[in-house]
Structure 1
Amino acid sequence: MLEPIPLSERRRDLWLIAGFLVFASTSVFVDRLAALDVDFCGQRSLFGALCWYGRNLDPLFLANPQWLRVMSGISAWVFGPLYLLFAWAFWRGVDAVRWPTIAWAVAILYSMVVHLWMEFFGPAPAPHPGLLTLIYLPYVLLPMLALARLRGERPFSRVRA
């Protein structure tokens, strides 16, 4: 018979939970707007920080080509809610979240290959590629950590003694 492993014995999961919650926030506050092609630098814009970011660090973000709007839409309306589900499931120790999280991690890693390739070799290359790499690094590390964490068949359960 299986029993859940309490969160107090899975302290490292708190890092994944925090990462999922941060990603949920960026999905709502940035990706949703990018998917809708909001002009971050428009007159009287409330998005001054995002305009500065695009002008100084990430010109592709401001160019916002159609493929990036599609990826941002997937992040906003598919992954955004999933991040909340993943955070809850990791908090509660729900083994059933394993395969959906693995599917998400593979999808994110694939999309990051495309995104970073275009950031560095596309028509609007980043002026500071090292800094941009650091900014996007969590979007590579979190899925890799999730894949490592979920390598066991029942990551949140153990055989009852």
Structure 2
Amino acid sequence: MAGAIVHYTIAALQAYFMVMNLTVERFYCHAPLKRGDTRLLVPETIDFCEKFNPLFLSRPEWMRAATCVSAYCFAPCYLLTLVAALTGSLKRVKPVLLLFIGAKLNAIGFYHFMEFTSSMPPPNPPAYFAVEGPYLISIGLVLYVLFTGGPPRAPQRAKQG
């Protein structure tokens, strides 16, 4: 049971990340997000950022470029992680996942350093990290499975017959 929970949580988080890649991040990469835009998750993102992450809406070039990398380069790795979690194959793709996790941790570290040292740091860090936290939770769960011998496989359906 614990194995199923860990694997399904990893898979669900990857699905969430891919939705963000294909919507908000991709849109932001190509043009500023503007009030009145009704595309999926854009109104919610604007509302959130006005309150908790004003730097995102100011769209400095480094953030636009980092978001483009996330939108287009990280999505395939999220898909790989999702499939590996659902099939109990995380350990089989360990080298690729470790490279991806390294890249993601580097991106997260850079992003947060730039956010909190900018002229517009997040005014409410707990709210800011509530949105950013799932990335760290996902990394922690994947590393747990890869290094501690956590639940090795997602549950297999009973064969009927």
Structure 1 unaligned segments of length 5 or more: list them. Answer: 1-7
Contact 2:49-2:57 within 8 A present in 1 as well? yes
Structure 2 unaligned segments of length 5 or more: list them. Answer: 154-161
Q: Distance in 1 between matches of 2:60 and 2:125?
A: 19
Q: Distance in 2 between matches of 1:51 and 1:9?
A: 37
Q: Which residue of 2 aligns with 1:85?
A: 80
Contact 2:7-2:88 within 8 A present in 1 as well? no
Once superposed, what is the RMSD of the aligned Cα atoms? 2.3
3-state SS of 1:10 partner = helix
**Does residue 35 of structure 2 align to residue 39 of structure 1?**
no
Q: Distance in 2 between matches of 1:96 and 1:75?
A: 24
Q: Distance in 2 between matches of 1:10 and 1:130?
A: 30
Contact 1:120-1:129 within 8 A present in 2 as well? no
- The offset of 1:79, in angstroms, is 1.0
TM-score by length of 1: 0.80
Q: Percent identity?
A: 24
Q: How many residues are paired up?
A: 148
State the Cα deviation string for residues 48-90 of structure 1 (Å, max 9, x = none): 3222222111111111212112221121111112211221122
- The offset of 1:9, in angstroms, is 7.6
Q: Which residue of 2 aligns with 1:10?
A: 3
Q: Distance in 1 between matches of 2:68 and 2:95?
A: 22
Q: Distance in 2 between matches of 1:72 and 1:132?
A: 16
State the Cα deviation string for residues 11-61 of structure 1 (Å, max 9, x = none): 12111111111111111111111221x22225x422332222221111111
Per residue, is there more helix in 1 or in 2? 2
Q: Which residue of 2 aligns with 1:70?
A: 65
